[in-house]
Amino acid sequence: MKILLLTHSVDRHSGGVGAVVLAAEEAYEGSKNTTSQILAVSSRGGLACSIFDYIKAVYRIIIFRPDVIHMHGLWSMASLVLFASKKILYFKTFISAHGMLAEKAYNDSGLQKKLFWRFIESKNFKNAVIIWSSDQEKSSSMYNKDGYLVYNPVYLNNEKITFSDSFLPTFLYFGRLDPKKNILSLINEFVKLPNEIECKFMIVGDGDEIYTKALIDAAKDDKRICFTGYLTGCAKSSILSTADFSLFNSEHEGLQISLIESCYYKCIPIINNATNANFLVQNDAAILTGKNIQVEDFKFALEVSQSDRMRMINNAYNIAKIMFSPKNYVENIKNVFNEVGNQKEGMKE
């Protein structure tokens, strides 16, 4: 079976989507009877570069002639490439939206996005199989709720992890500095903590320059808040290893890879009710808040007993190790391939 993983980007700005694609491709490499390729199509180089990349991407698909194209993410040139390729070749189409089909996000979007859905994305979804990363992502979708639940793969290298002996409670946000993540709200609530409460708030990541400046300005009078910029590799592992609580305050999400990584690094997630991670709450592996994380939630986390913290840490760690292993991902996704292949109705338009 030849599988093409089609996405908008797998560079350092791609966040969770890029991490999933890279983990999936590496997992497929060790899988029998499977050949895979990544095709990342970006539109950052101007119109001329975009047209050239578009043509080159379609050409690569024609040459590779995949049995399956699994598209990760929406609303990008990758969608245009899939749209054109479906007119030329026959292949099975699988789509992982990664939270980008959230009904609220679509309803709040502008005319351009709605037109793109009408003429491009909706055509790509015709006869496609949808892969959901969580039950909440499925239930919050604006589109057909049919599809298959397959947890995203997350590579977790235990050998590189060393845990800190620091006793200063540390909160952590790591990921893209983007307004939809509601980081500014996190800062505004954190600074309400009395100064005599000794703790730290580490913000790891980069993003839009104007938004980043607004975050720094909001935090400048509180010495407990620290911005590290973008980190990867051992530097990122070191920060994760020292944190006690990781913060997730998004308006809408698929299933954040950083959330699973924080579980693996024994960092208790504090999640608002828009985060697609109810399975963590149900397994006593996270702290659930309301629509947005408030100062009271910071205080509550600091007052959690050591025994309760250890119980949540162990629960979260076990979930990360079992549910999101690349090996399990490949087995689950292949089961979907086989089930779809055995259906009487073909997927060819």
State residue 300's pLDDT score: 97
For the structural domain made of 158-323, what CATH number should be given? 3.40.50.2000
- Per-residue pLDDT of 250-307, as tens digits, reads 887 667 888 888 998 889 999 998 777 878 988 999 999 999 999 999 999 999 999 9
Partner residues linked to 141 by β-bridges: 102
For residue 252, the number of C-alpha atoms closer than 13 Å in the C-beta half-sphere is 19
pLDDT computed for residue 251 by the predictor: 80
275 and 247 Cβ atoms separated by less than 8 Å: no
Structure tokens of 155? 């590579």
d(CA 261, CA 240): 8
Contact 251, 182 (CB under 8 A): yes
Topology alike, domains 2-153+325-341 and 158-323: yes
Comparing 41-50, 123-132, 185-194, 275-284, the range with the smallest average pLDDT is 41-50
Q: Give the architecture-level CATH label for domain 2-153+325-341.
A: 3-Layer(aba) Sandwich (3.40)
Q: Which residue carries 């990758």 as its tokens?
A: 78
Asked if 78 and 41 touch (Cβ cutoff 8 Å), the reply is yes
CA distance 158 to 260: 14
Task: Kindly list the domain boundaries of the chain, sorted by start residue.
Answer: 2-153+325-341, 158-323
Give this prediction's pTM.
0.82
pLDDT per residue as tens digits for the range 157-184? 654 444 444 568 999 999 989 898 999 9
Q: Are 326 and 155 in contact (CB under 8 A)?
A: yes
